[in-house]
Amino acid sequence: MALNGKIAVVTGAVMGIGKAVTELLLQNGAKVALLDVNRIAGESLMETLKKQYGQERTLLLNCNVESDEQIKAALQKTADTFGGIDILCNNAGIMNESTWERMVSINLMGVIRVTYVALEHMSKLAGGRGGVIVNTASLAGLGPLLNCPVYTATKHGVIGFTRAMADASTASGYGIRVNALCPSFVQTDLFTNVLSILRQSSHLAAATHQMIEKFGVLNVSEVADALLELVTDDTKNGEALIVVPNERNYITFPSILK
């Protein structure tokens, strides 16, 4: 898919990975609706983006992915302003095991909520043009992050949802590819905040630090580049792309029904 003139929605767009993805989509000619709950960081980012990419290519929408009402309003506003939706990046996520129900609601249910509303705009069965959805999962969607069991569960859930939606899209003719991105640790506020808590407490901290040493820490632009591959490569559907420093690999899942 060539990005020039395409219309993208990014959730959790104003910080970290979402911000890098937004900037890369804009650099490649797309228009972007930025959905986020952080109004202050959002407004400050918009000032910069409008100066750099013009007044008409970005839209900041206050949208909590826990609210169906806000999601519906945000996607309708995007479609009315730009003329449809071609790309959805489900990226909003948190890591906080002590408020784990909220984490499930944002990390997993948020992806499901936004996807179902987006289908009404994107699916060829609903009058849309088709397109592509990329869900930011994690390496913790493919293996255990030992002191974050609920975070691990949400990310495994995102990968399962991605694969089932990809197959459903092919079987039903939505015209939408659905893929998951699985980065290892990434240098963002989420990572720094969790690390500072970890340093003070958990007896599992040493094991986690070993994991961080083993995988290394990515910068956000490496992650955004990998996400762009999943958006632009029309052959990718139902894939989980692992991203670690200097390396990307598509997962081969076991096939049970053979």
Ligand X SMILES: CCCCC/C=C\C=C\[C@H](O)C/C=C\C/C=C\CCCC(=O)O
Ligand Y SMILES: NC(=O)c1ccc[n+]([C@@H]2O[C@H](COP(=O)([O-])OP(=O)(O)OC[C@H]3O[C@@H](n4cnc5c(N)ncnc54)[C@H](O)[C@@H]3O)[C@@H](O)[C@H]2O)c1
Neighbours of 98 (CB within 10 A): 8
Site membership for ligand Y, residue 136 (CB under 6 A): yes
Q: Three-state SS across 166-208?
A: HHHHHHHCCCEEEEEEEECEECCHHHHHHHHHHHHCCCCHHHH
Site membership for ligand Y, residue 189 (CB under 6 A): yes
Candidates 22-30, 188-196, 220-228, 233-241 — which segment interacts with ligand X by CB under 6 A? 188-196
φ/ψ region of 112 (left if φ > 0, alpha if ψ in -120 to 50, else beta) reads: alpha
CB 182 within 8 A of CB 136: no
The backbone torsions φ and ψ at residue 81, rounded to the nearest 5 degrees and listed phi first, read: -75, -45
Candidates 3-11, 133-141, 162-170, 245-253 — which segment interacts with ligand X by CB under 6 A? 133-141
**Local structure of residue 213 (DSSP, 8 states):** H
Question: Quick check: is 151 catalytic?
Answer: yes
Site membership for ligand Y, residue 147 (CB under 6 A): no
Q: Given candidates 32, 117, 132, 139, which one binds ligand X under the rule CB under 6 A?
A: 139
CB 79 within 8 A of CB 121: yes
Q: Given candidates 12, 128, 131, 157, which one binds ligand Y under the rule CB under 6 A?
A: 12
Choosing from 53, 116, 151, 174, which is the catalytic residue?
A: 151
Site membership for ligand X, residue 145 (CB under 6 A): yes
Question: Which of 147, 174 has the CB closer to ligand Y?
Answer: 147
H-helix or E-strand containing 220? helix 220-232
Which residues have a catalytic role annotated?
A: 151
Interface residues with ligand Y (CB under 6 A) are: 11-12, 14-18, 36-38, 64-66, 91-94, 106, 136, 138, 183, 185-186, 188-191
Interface residues with ligand X (CB under 6 A) are: 95, 138-140, 143-145, 147-148, 184-185, 190-191, 194-195, 198, 208, 211
